[in-house]
Amino acid sequence: MTAFPPLLALGSSLLAMTAASTAAFAQDTIIQSGDSYFTAAQAELSRKIAEQQNVTRAKNIVLFVVDGLSVPTITASRIHEGQLRGVDGESNVLSFEALLPYTALSKTYTHDAQVADSAPTATAIVAGVKSLNGTIGVTQKVTADNCASQKGAEVTTLFELAETAGLSTGIVSTARITHATPAATYAKVAGRDWEADKDLPEEAVAGGCKDIAAQLIDWPAGNGFEVIFGGGRGNFMLESQADPENAEQTGARKDGRDLVAEWQQKYNDGAYVWNKEGFDAIDPAKTGHAFGLFNRSHMQYEADREKDAGGEPSLAEMSVKAVDLLSTNPDGFVLMIEGGRVDHAHHAGNAARALTDTIAVAEAVQAVYDKVDPAETLIILTADHSHVFSIAGYPERNNPILGIAGVADDKKPYTTLGYQNGPGAKLDEPRADLSNVDTTDIDFLQQALVPLGESETHAGDDVVIFAQGPWAHLFHGVVEQNLVFHVMEHASDLANRAALAAR
């Protein structure tokens, strides 16, 4: 019997030959072969044909979670970033679109809801199971806001496996480090709002449940996170302690635990910082653990960062510093980087800040990619959920993405970007006339259809997974959100490595 070459090898060579022949003969057979769009697509095809699947073990994993990054947010941010640079926004490419070639759509529903919040979706991403809205680090067996139900429902996260296996771990976020997404890496709570002890209901206190901030300091995995950068300083400070940026504000803790001091006592190789000056002074060669809390609550939006009293590092700066610190471990690292405030800007109905923070994430992706070895680092970027944010109308090419799309039947202008619900609609008030309004202003709130004065809502549509590196090719098609954990674990073999290390 004739032996045939492996299908993949044969297919790759045939496709390469096909691409070359297409380029050679297209001039004679396809009239539009000289068109700029046609030739650009041919170049893109050649790049895709040349891609090789990486099936080696991932030494490092970098997981970007962009809270609320819907597909329209990606598109609008791409256009906005290009327009800010003075180039064609529509054909512009964000760094993660260019650097992370494998993609899939992620189904974000939770065990109990069509539309998710950030707590169970983050748990799905870092622990591989779907759970209930409002809960963190637990399975579907939990009852929301019920302390007693946590027992036996706790999950093991990728970060706990990594610490057990001897890898270094880190979390970076522009939100409070006790907020849902970063908290999912370490906390087990039936209530996502239990960020400090003052937030615990009586039942939880009586049942012995810990708040999220205390769980971070008491985290038993390995020797703890080597890197923690984010906001949420108040949840680690006593209510009698004045905040270093604003003496009129104090910490939140009522239990007598100064968690910052406890962390400092725990690590003789640690550096605790709260401002840009302290951050810049961290020397990765001399620092084994770094703890940076740069705001009492969430960090500033990227557009407002320079106004911060103590100064805040950018997401890219925090990400690079984290990689520098974690890379001192020859066994590798696992790092989560959250662009947490994209979500908050959408809730406020403020598209400009949502897009600006998304662009900051793209800058962080490029900075991290440039620091690591892409061949041994699985880099993933995804979102936890979507938002009711849209790009509509028929604006002309190169029209400002934050600008006016056209005039509606009520003879009033409407913007290209808008929301299905949120603060941009006012109860019992007619739609505002935007004729003399600067809709590109950073503080402008896009108009909405349904009035929700408090906050715009999440949406239930699928979000994108972008990936590159070892086993990134497993991300294709439409997948369940909790698959992300399973791909990361498979690529790194952390479960087996942790089991061997624990013997």
User: How many other C-beta atoms can be found within 10 angstroms of the C-beta atom of residue 435?
Assistant: 10
What confidence score (pLDDT) does residue 7 get?
38
Rounded CA gap, 239 and 251, in Å? 4
Query: In sequence order, what are the beta bridge partners of 64?
Result: 337, 381
Q: Where are the alpha helices (DSSP H) in 267-388?
A: 276-281, 315-326, 341-347, 351-371
Q: Which of 273, 269, 272, 271 lies closest to 288, judged by CA?
A: 269
Note the pLDDT of residue 56.
98
Cα dist from 276 to 173, 230, 282, 295, 315, whole Å: 15, 12, 10, 11, 12
3 state SS for 296-314: CCCCCCHHHHHHCCCCCCC
Task: Quote the radius of gyration of the chain (alpha carbons, Å).
Answer: 24
Q: What is the mean pLDDT of residues 120-127?
A: 98
pLDDT digits (tens, 9 = 90+) for 16-62: 455 555 555 556 799 999 999 999 999 999 999 999 999 999 999 99
What Cα–Cα distance (Å) separates residue 467 from each residue in 176, 269, 379, 452, 473? Answer: 26, 34, 6, 35, 8
* pLDDT number for residue 1: 36
- Which region, left, alpha or beta, applies to residue 82 given φ > 0 means left and ψ of -120 to 50 means alpha? alpha
Identify the pLDDT of residue 25.
55
In percent, how much of the chain has pLDDT > 70?
A: 95
> 14: pLDDT confidence band, cut at 50, 70 and 90?
very low
Q: What average pLDDT does the structure give for the chain? A: 95
Beta carbons within 10 angstroms of residue 36's beta carbon: 7
Say how far apart CA 493 and CA 488 lie, in whole Å.
8
The residues that are catalytic are 118
Q: Cα(195)–Cα(245) distance, rounded to whole angstroms?
A: 21
Task: Name the token pair of 62.
Answer: 């970098």
Model confidence at 453, pLDDT cuts 50, 70, 90, reads confident
User: pLDDT tens, 385-405?
Assistant: 999 999 999 999 999 999 999
User: Taking 50 as the threshold, does the pLDDT of residue 332 lie above it?
Assistant: yes
Cβ proximity of 309 and 246 under 8 Å: yes
The CA-to-CA distance between both ends of the chain, in Å, stands at 49
Give the pLDDT of residue 26. Answer: 58
Mean pLDDT of 243-262: 97
The CA distances from residue 57 to 21, 53, 101, in Å, are 36, 12, 19
Cβ neighbours, 10 Å, residue 64: 26
According to DSSP, the residues that pair with 169 across neighbouring strands are 334
Residue 226 per-residue DSSP state: S
Band (pLDDT 50/70/90 cuts) for residue 10 is very low
Q: Is the pLDDT of residue 96 over 70?
A: yes
In the chain, what are the domains? 60-388+466-502 (3.40.720.10), 401-456 (no CATH)
Output the pLDDT for position 454. 87
- What pLDDT, on a 0 to 100 scale, did the predictor assign at position 6? 41
Q: Is the pLDDT of residue 2 over 50?
A: no
The band of 215, judged by pLDDT with boundaries at 50, 70 and 90, is very high
- Yes or no: say if 72 and 344 are a contact pair by the CB < 8 Å rule: no
Q: Are strands 404-407 and 413-415 parallel, antiparallel or unpaired?
A: antiparallel
**Which pLDDT score is estimated for 194?**
98
Q: For residues 127-151, b (16+ Cβ closer than 10 Å) or e, as one string?
A: bbbbbbbbbbbbbeebebbbbebbe
* pLDDT for 27: 64
